[in-house]
Amino acid sequence: MNTADRPRVAVFRPDDERLDAARSLLTGLGVEPVADPMLAVEPTDATPRDADYVVFTSKTGAELVAAAGWESSDATVVAIGPKTADALESAGYAVDLVPDDYSSTGLVDLLADRTEGASVEVARSDHGSPVLLDGLRDAGAAVHETVLYRLVRPDGAGESAALAAAGDLDAACFTSSLTVEHFLDAAAERGVRADAVAGLNAAVVGVIGEPTRETAEGAGIEVDVVPAEATFEALARETVARLREVENGETP
């Protein structure tokens, strides 16, 4: 474990206001954030097709379609969560539906009884979960996906992997399966993948969502925290709380 004054907690958010907010939150929780962005956005300049329902799964997607001047016409606009909804509404779009569970599963639960025979446009990144498309198709919807942006690993990512491999990382907050995969790729490029996984397993690992848990555990990473609320704030708070339990010698 890290012997610095404050525990080090890795955060993998894109290098924009989300990373700034994550740093501030973790600092306020009394830990040292290790900012190691594992995702960068490459816009495709595409916009959603006309459909009965248009589903947005991220704040980034909402901002990109707003910048492109997308017109929602008479579509029922669906946002995966409040931050995506806020971004859409700030751009002048009316948001009609937001699920209680901010996830692909939550979207399916929300829309399954509404979309039989309807056209549904899913506007998102190139790494979206198949759960959403499959679930809506199973419910009888005519589903089309438009890729608004690609998620790539930034050059130079991997400081957290080196720290984990050296035993100098106390916790990590993974927000998606792709952040796990990019962390492992960065570790492999540095020749420390096995040591980095071992370092994570000596630390506290928090993830958002069951798909992220499955990806991590499939790679040999032991997951300690999966918050009930699929937000970074919940992830950070619960991961740091578990870290404090471990520091105090409490059994998780």
Both tokens of 207, joined, read 């993830």
Report how far residue 252's alpha carbon sits from residue 246's, in angstroms, rounded to the nearest whole number: 7
Both tokens of 20, joined, read 């700034």
- Report which of 23, 105, 93 is spatially closest to residue 59, judged by C-alpha positions: 93
The residue with tokens 């937000």 is 231
Both tokens of 86, joined, read 């806020």
The pLDDT value recorded for residue 251 is 60
- Report which of 229, 174, 211 is spatially closest to residue 11, judged by C-alpha positions: 174
For the chain, 252 residues long, the average pLDDT of each consecutive 10-residue run is: 78 93 97 96 95 96 96 94 96 97 93 97 93 97 98 94 98 96 97 98 96 96 95 96 90 57
The pLDDT value recorded for residue 3 is 47
CB 74: neighbour CB atoms within 10 A? Answer: 6
The pLDDT value recorded for residue 2 is 56
Report the SS3 class of residue 153.
coil
